[in-house]
Amino acid sequence: MAGNSFGKKLVLTTFGESHGVAVGGVLDGFPAGIRIDTAFIQSEINRRNPAKYPFATTRREDDKLEIFSGVYEGLSTGTPIAFLVYNKDHRPEDYDHLKELYRPSHADYTYEARYGIRDHRGGGRSSARTTLSVVAGGALAKLYLFPEKISITGFVRQIGPHSLPDDFTLADPALVLLSPLACPHEKTTQKMLDHLHSLKEQGDTAGGVISCIISGIPAGIGDPLFNKLQSDLARAVFSINSVKGFEYGEGFRAASMTGSQHNDEFILEDNLIKTKTNHSGGIQGGISNGMDINFNVAFKPISTLAIEQQTINRNGDQITFTAEGRNDVCVVPRAIPIVEAMAALVIADHMLCT
């Protein structure tokens, strides 16, 4: 199986399955001399842990990160950084009843069609459990970006039909931490919680939208024509499980705007070139212009439902089944550190290539 490595100069390779021994990765190309704050890396991993969120899977892993190479006396050495997290609370027997069937909207059939074999235990390599390696690699990328004063902030914009007000702007990132769903708006959070509670009782699931803001990135990062910053961000984000949509700046709204409405006029402020508005989302011609980069990511509802569904098995027999096990009602809040990690890896990679 190819496709397990990501990046040009800063390359992350991940390994592991949902119910295998461990998940982990190797980050190659990381510069030497960077202070490696293992407590920070662990805190980023903990952000995706389901124990932090309501309506998440009841699988409980301590997710303790172990680093095996590339760090000496607290500093990166410039050699590959290898790390892993052992799986402990795995229950492969929960998936025995799924071994012969193809679950709707999962990777069961497509993996088997591609490779002739699949790991049915929680989806194996296709499981979102593997994103833990991405978060660890992204945390290392953030440590590289911190001295450059670059910050990346994600938050939940929408769950199901409930979304932030159209005129909402994130004035204080601390508001994200106050919400159990990482939505920085109290009234919207409550509507989301009520909606998820109702879906849980029905055995159904919800999708949503994550917004992400990258601040402090200088102008001049990115390369045309096929290495544009926004295209690399989109490619990275689309590799995340359940992602079905990506837009940056005004995104699809730009299609209904006029040129005079969408154009960002340049101004000089404090001897810095800026734009009066930011409809472009901080990227023009595939290269950063120094303004905040902002994008939205759409996630589909989780495909594992606690209600009866129709499908077929390997013999082609039509069957009725109900998924068993420990499953999320909505994964969107847990996906924020994954989105941030992918953004950090892309930005770091582009800056190292500059």
The Cα 4–Cα 249 span in angstroms is 29
| Residue range 242-262: mean pLDDT, rounded | 98
Host domain of residue 188: 5-353
| Residue range 206-220: mean pLDDT, rounded | 98
| Average pLDDT of the chain, as a whole number | 94
End-to-end CA distance of the chain: 31
The 10s digit of each residue's pLDDT in 59-78 is: 778 899 999 999 999 999 99
- How many other CB atoms sit within 10 Å of the CB of residue 193? 18
Instruction: Provide the pLDDT for residue 19.
Output: 86
Percentage of the chain exceeding pLDDT 70? 99
The Cα 224–Cα 241 span in angstroms is 27
| Residue range 166-191: mean pLDDT, rounded | 95
CATH of the domain at 167: 3.60.150.10
87: which strand partners? none
The Cα 59–Cα 268 span in angstroms is 52
The Cα 76–Cα 70 span in angstroms is 6
Identify the weakest region by mean pLDDT among 118-132, 152-166, 198-212, 303-317: 118-132
Instruction: Provide the pLDDT for residue 90.
Output: 66
The SS3 call for residue 35 is: strand
DSSP class of 301: P
Number of domains in the chain: 1
| Residue range 255-264: mean pLDDT, rounded | 98
- Whether residue 98 is predicted with pLDDT greater than 90 in this model: the reply is no
The Cα 261–Cα 52 span in angstroms is 41
